[in-house]
Amino acid sequence: MTMIRTAQHPHALPASPSRPARRVFLISLLIGVLACSLAPAPAAAQQVVVKMATLVPEGSSWQLILKEMADKWKTVSGGRVTVRLYAGGVAGDDADVVRKIRLGALNAGVLTEVGLEEIDRSILALSVPMAYSSYDEVDYVLEKMRPTLEAKLEAKGFVPLAWLDGGWSHIFAQKPVATPDDLKPLKLFTPSGDPQAVEIYKAAGFNPVPLPTTELSTALQTGLVNALQVPPQVAVLTQYYAHAKYMTDLPWLLLLGATVVDKATWEKIPADVRPALLEAAREAGRRLRAEIRNSGDRDVEAMKKRGLVVVPVDPRARELWRKAAESAYPRIRGPVVPADAFDEALRYRDELRRRTGAASHGR
C-alpha cells in the first residue's frame, strides 16, 4: 500500500537510495574532485633558448650589433625567446658550428661561406674568385638567386634569417705579393674541410695548407702558413696583419655570409613572434653590411699606420690574376660549385653589366 500511495501522490518523497548506491555515488564524486584537482594548469608560454655561435670577435662592433639583435629578440617576444651568443670562435670554426647545429648542441650561427657551403655549395657561386667587380654586382646576383638559395638551405633544415658579407678578401702575406707567381712559393692558408678547393689551388700551382680558422693566428706566428686571404676588416679585428704585413691591392672575392637557424628550433618559436624576430635579424644584417662596407678603406689606413704595406697591382699584373682565376673555373664549375648555380650567377652578373655598361674588371 505504501508503494502504491507514494507512486500515486504527486508530492510524495522518493524512496531513499540503497546503501550500495550511495557508496557508488560517493566514489564517483570523489573521483571527480580528484580529477579536477589533478588537471594540469594552463600551459605557460613556451620558452625557447637559441644558442647562436659566430666567429665575429668578442668586443667588436660586429658582436655588439649581434648582441643588440639578441636583446631585441627577447624584448619583442615578451621574454619567450632568449639568444645565447657565443662569439669569437669559442664554439669552433664555421664547419664546427654547422656540425653542432645538426647535432643539437647549437641552434643557430652567423656563418661565412665556409659554413654555408657545409649546408649547400650553391652559395659559392657568389664567391667565385675575380668573378665580380663591385658590391652592386654581388647584390644584384644575390637578390636574383635568393629565393632559390633560401629554399635549398631550408630543404636541408636551416632557415636563413639574413644575408650579410665580410668585405672583399685580399691576400695578406709575410712577403710582398704582386703577381700569382709571387704567391706560388708561399704556404697559403685554406679553410679545412674543403678538399676540392685544395686540389684546385694545387692545380693552379699554389701551395695550400688546410687548417681550421681558429688555428690561423697561431699558424701565422709559427710559420705553418705565411699567406692568407681575408678582408681588411677581418685582418684588423683579428690582428692577422701583425704577422702578415703585406696586403695585395686586389679584391679577390667577396666573403659572403648569412645568419641561419635550425628549422626545428625556428618552428618551436610561436608563429606570431617569428615575423618580428625575422625583421630584427634582417636589420642586424643590414647594419653589419653597412658597417663592413663603410670601414674597408678606414681599416686599411689604420693598419698602414701600424706597419701594413699595401702592395700595388698594375693593370698587367691584374690581368695575370684574372687569367689565373678564370683558368680554374672549369675545375670550380661542378666539383666545387654546382654547375647550374655557377651558370646562373654569371648569367645574372653579365645581365647587369650589359644593362649598366660596367667594366668587366676592377672594383
CB atoms within 10 A of CB 44: 7
**pLDDT score at 155:** 97
**pLDDT score at 7:** 36
d(CA 241, CA 232): 9
Residues of the chain with pLDDT under 50: 1-44, 360-363
> pTM here?
0.81
**pLDDT score at 134:** 93
d(CA 57, CA 283): 20
What's the domain count of the chain?
Answer: 1
311 within domain boundaries: yes
113 within domain boundaries: yes
Q: Which grid coordinates are listed for 229?
A: 686571404
**pLDDT score at 275:** 97
33 within domain boundaries: no
**pLDDT score at 193:** 76
**pLDDT score at 154:** 97
**pLDDT score at 50:** 97
Domain carrying residue 129: 48-356
Decide if 192 contacts 212 (C-beta within 8 A).
Answer: yes
346 within domain boundaries: yes
197 within domain boundaries: yes
**pLDDT score at 13:** 35
**pLDDT score at 36:** 38
CA-wise closest residue to 307 among 209, 236, 218: 236
Domain CATH number, residue 341: 3.40.190.170
216 within domain boundaries: yes
d(CA 233, CA 217): 15
267 within domain boundaries: yes
35 within domain boundaries: no
d(CA 183, CA 175): 9
- In terms of DSSP H, where are the helices of 184-262? 195-203, 216-222, 232-238
Question: 3-state class of 228 per DSSP?
Answer: strand
